[in-house]
């Protein structure tokens, strides 16, 4: 009897054990090499015993000043440095706590595998200091940075946060740096919910540094792309300027992007901080500098500029990166709203123009003013190379000439019959324009040109350069539209002049230009025919059902025949006449059909599905308990046989 009670108790215990989560038995072991003081960590690192090891420093709620300092061991000359995991919460830093006379800062981090900062306050020294957090990663790979809910106060002559990875392929290895054998790499950066003073910039990467090599001096006109090639997420911060040092060579100016308060931005590992559709460039110079790094090749890059004035007279140029020689150029999405352009803002001495666009995937211009100076050659010079399916929309804008050539040129290059010698590079992909619209514009002594004259080997016309659909409508002045693609190099260019408000629709076929006229619908009478609403093209003499001239119809289909009958007099109708009954179209129900009637629940042999599976867990637990009990019984029986 006692044995049975004991077995029952054991079975009950086994059942209870199955209900306890496995995690309750596991205790996470505290990591080795753990410190709560930066001075203890630095002392331990100096012995060399921690080389290559993960080392953890966690500090909460402490104040650091220039007097007591926050001096982190500099390990950038170690071949296999320790990997510091540094966590700071609720701390305050004031002044040059790194005690670095050359580069005053709060801390210098050369081997930080993981940096976590939350709810800390950093205040620059009175009168300002050079750096805030100076992260110069050497010899450690896949590092992570997370800075949240922290405040950076005071004046910084360089930046409040600098994150750079050193020793990579594009890093010219400045003479003042001693590098470990492994390139440093950052796998992720998150900066969220922080407050920045006006001078507290965030910097990524390092500008090129001149280095002496055997046989001469290194090329300093190349940016240090690898030093900033890591992903970044920023959100919920106050307004802050991001300085992308890695996009500039030694003598160049870094690309700087102002991020408005609360704006979320994401930087891919091989891209600039701006340029996404959600956070476009707002500075054409920043876009051009970023493109030159080649990290944006083949990517969609967005530039959105509103209300800015560009003038060659005062040196505010609109220089777009010329990528027609790139094998895989970036795809520029350019939006200009309420902007002003005066003179040769492209700063192009060979072809003076407002802008030169060889790689524009989409161009949207609305409410802008373009004014030529000194009979400049071009206005908007769109010379598409290597981009397919591009779109153009120019609306409600004013072009004032005179122009030597044209105010607006749309041209797709490198087609079968286009072998222009002025389009350089290895890009053999034929460019194509999917759609173009010019609407509501004012043209004062200004011409629109489509395609380009023949520049191929035999000098014949280049139809492919103008083989794209375009709609020109509702413009406020007359405008001459040149069909340059229909002329050989030495021939006179044919053109069509549209009067104000007239419509021109050209399909992708390079041989037809349509000038449709809308004909309003007219109801027929007893003696006179009417007509449907349709469009008639005065150029080709064809009829269409739609304004875009995509649905051609014969003239006969536009006509509605006369009725031939006088309308009946409603006063002669007998109001007492009952209208004929309309037969019902609803099918008659079959009284003998019981297939859809409710079945008798008592005759059903299948139990109803309740959808309640809550007992499965209990059955599973009982199954485990039974297995445990069976094993226990076997042991007891075996022992009794003994």
Asked whether 135 and 112 are in contact (CB, 8 A), the reply is yes
- Rounded to whole angstroms, the Cα distance separating 570 from 564 reads 18
Q: Which of 492, 417, 501 is nearest to 455 (CA)?
A: 417
Strands 143-148 and 186-192: parallel
- Which backbone phi and psi does 466 adopt, to 5 degrees? -120, 15
Asked whether 364 and 339 are in contact (CB, 8 A), the reply is no
In terms of Cβ atoms closer than 10 Å to its own Cβ (0-12, 13-18, 19+), residue 595 is: exposed
SS3 label, residue 504: strand
pLDDT at 439: 96
- Rounded to whole angstroms, the Cα distance separating 291 from 618 reads 63
| Burial annotation 209-231 (CB, 10 A radius, 16+ → b, else e) | beeeeeeeeeeeeebbbbbbbbe
> Tokens 């002594």 correspond to what residue?
445
SS3 label, residue 535: strand
Strands 470-473 and 504-506: antiparallel
* Beta carbons within 10 angstroms of residue 282's beta carbon: 16
- Which backbone phi and psi does 553 adopt, to 5 degrees? -135, 155
243 forms beta bridges with: 203, 256
pLDDT at 179: 62
Distances from the Cα of 226 to the Cα of 114, 186, 265, 321, angstroms: 20, 11, 20, 21
Asked whether 321 and 287 are in contact (CB, 8 A), the reply is yes
DSSP state, 82? Answer: -
Asked whether 242 and 214 are in contact (CB, 8 A), the reply is no
Asked whether 325 and 425 are in contact (CB, 8 A), the reply is yes
Helices and strands (H, E) in the chain, number of each type: 4, 45
pTM for this entry: 0.68
How long is the chain? 642
State the number of CA atoms in the 13 A half-sphere of 396 facing the CB: 7
Strands 92-94 and 63-64: parallel
Q: Which of 117, 135, 275 is nearest to 205 (CA)?
A: 135
> Tokens 């939350």 correspond to what residue?
118
Q: Consecutive 10-residue runs of the chain (642 residues): their mean pLDDT?
A: 49 50 44 90 92 96 96 89 96 97 96 97 96 95 98 98 89 58 91 97 88 54 84 96 88 86 88 86 88 82 97 95 87 98 96 96 98 96 93 98 97 81 66 96 97 79 91 93 90 91 83 80 95 90 86 95 74 48 38 41 39 49 48 38 32
Angle at 206 between CA 281 and CA 277, to 5 degrees: 20
HEC per residue, 369-426: EEECCCCCCEEEEEEECCCCCEEEEEECCEEECCCCCEEEEEEECCCCCCCCCCCCCC
| Burial annotation 618-634 (CB, 10 A radius, 16+ → b, else e) | eeebeeebeebbeeeee
- Rounded to whole angstroms, the Cα distance separating 241 from 264 reads 13
Distances from the Cα of 222 to the Cα of 9, 78, 225, 294, angstroms: 78, 28, 9, 11
Asked whether 385 and 358 are in contact (CB, 8 A), the reply is yes
- Rounded to whole angstroms, the Cα distance separating 294 from 247 reads 10
SS3 label, residue 42: helix
Q: Which of 609, 472, 481 is nearest to 548 (CA)?
A: 472
End-to-end CA distance of the chain: 20
- Rounded to whole angstroms, the Cα distance separating 257 from 326 reads 25
pLDDT at 26: 38
User: How distant is the alpha carbon of residue 117 from its chain centre?
Assistant: 28
Q: Which of 458, 528, 450 is nearest to 494 (CA)?
A: 450
Strands 92-94 and 121-123: parallel
Per DSSP, the residues of 199-245 read T--EEES------EETTEE---SS--GGGG-S-EEEESPPSEEEEEG
Asked whether 538 and 524 are in contact (CB, 8 A), the reply is no
- Rounded to whole angstroms, the Cα distance separating 472 from 483 reads 13
Cα radius of gyration (the chain): 38
pLDDT at 592: 44
pLDDT at 268: 85
pLDDT at 589: 38
With a CB cutoff of 8 Å and minimum separation 6, the contacts of 51 are 78, 80, 81, 82
């Amino acid at each position: 009897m006692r044995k049975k009670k004991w077995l029952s108790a054991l079975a009950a215990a086994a059942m209870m054990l199955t209900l306890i989560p496995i995690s309750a038995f596991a205790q996470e072991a505290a990591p080795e090499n753990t410190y709560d003081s930066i001075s203890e960590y630095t002392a331990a690192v100096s012995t060399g015993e921690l080389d290559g090891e993960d080392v953890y420093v966690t500090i909460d709620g402490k104040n650091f000043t220039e007097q007591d300092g926050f001096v982190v061991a500099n390990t950038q000359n170690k071949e296999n440095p320790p990997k510091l995991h540094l966590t700071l919460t609720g701390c305050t830093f004031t002044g040059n706590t790194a005690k670095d006379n050359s580069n005053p800062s709060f801390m210098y981090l050369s081997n930080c595998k993981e940096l976590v900062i939350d709810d800390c306050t950093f205040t620059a020294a009175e009168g300002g200091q050079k750096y805030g957090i100076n992260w110069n990663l050497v010899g450690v790979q896949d590092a992570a940075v997370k800075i949240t809910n922290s405040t950076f106060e005071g004046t910084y002559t360089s930046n409040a946060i600098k994150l750079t990875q050193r020793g990579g392929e594009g890093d010219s290895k400045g003479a003042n740096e001693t590098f470990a054998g492994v390139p440093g790499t950052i796998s992720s950066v998150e900066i969220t919910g922080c407050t920045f003073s006006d001078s507290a910039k965030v910097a990524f990467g390092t500008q090129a540094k001149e280095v002496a090599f055997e046989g001469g001096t290194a090329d300093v006109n190349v940016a240090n792309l690898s030093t900033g090639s890591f992903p970044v997420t920023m959100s919920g911060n106050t307004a802050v300027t991001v300085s992308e040092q890695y996009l500039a060579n030694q003598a160049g100016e870094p690309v700087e992007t102002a991020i408005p308060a609360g704006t979320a931005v994401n930087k891919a590992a091989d891209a600039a901080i701006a340029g996404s559709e959600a956070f476009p460039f707002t500075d054409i110079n920043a876009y051009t500098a970023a493109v030159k790094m080649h990290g944006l090749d083949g990517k969609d890059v967005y530039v959105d500029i509103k209300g800015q004035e560009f003038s060659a007279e005062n040196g505010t140029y609109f220089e777009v990166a010329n990528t027609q020689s790139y094998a895989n150029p970036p795809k520029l999405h350019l939006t200009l709203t309420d902007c002003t352009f005066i003179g040769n803002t492209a700063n192009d001495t060979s072809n003076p123009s407002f802008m030169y666009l060889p790689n524009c995937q989409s161009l949207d211009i609305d409410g802008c003013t373009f004014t030529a100076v000194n009979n400049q050659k071009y206005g908007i010079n769109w010379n598409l190379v290597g981009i397919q399916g591009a779109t153009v929309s120019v609306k409600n804008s004013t072009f004032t000439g005179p122009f030597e050539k044209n105010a607006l040129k749309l041209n797709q290059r490198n087609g079968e019959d286009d072998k222009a010698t002025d389009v350089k590079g290895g890009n053999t992909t034929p460019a194509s324009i999917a759609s173009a619209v010019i609407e509501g514009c004012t043209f004062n002594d200004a011409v629109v040109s489509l395609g380009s004259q023949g520049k191929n080997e035999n000098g014949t016309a280049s139809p492919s350069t103008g083989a794209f659909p375009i709609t020109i409508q509702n413009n406020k002045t007359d405008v001459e539209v040149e069909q340059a693609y229909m002329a050989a190099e030495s021939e006179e260019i044919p053109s069509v002049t549209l009067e104000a408000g007239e419509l021109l629709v050209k399909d992708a076929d390079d041989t037809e230009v349509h000038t449709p006229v809308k004909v309003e619908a007219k109801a027929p009478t007893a003696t006179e025919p009417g007509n449907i609403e349709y469009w008639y093209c005065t150029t080709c003499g064809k009829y269409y059902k739609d304004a875009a001239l995509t649905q051609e119809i014969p003239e006969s289909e536009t006509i509605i025949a006369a009725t031939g009958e006088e309308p009946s007099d409603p006063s002669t109708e007998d109001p007492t006449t009952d209208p004929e009954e309309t037969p019902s179209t609803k099918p008659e129900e079959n009284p003998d059909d019981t297939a859809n009637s409710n079945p008798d629940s008592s005759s059903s042999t299948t139990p109803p599905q309740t959808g309640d599976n809550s007992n499965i867990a209990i059955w599973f637990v009982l199954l485990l308990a039974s297995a445990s009990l069976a094993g226990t019984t076997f042991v007891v029986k075996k022992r009794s046989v003994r």
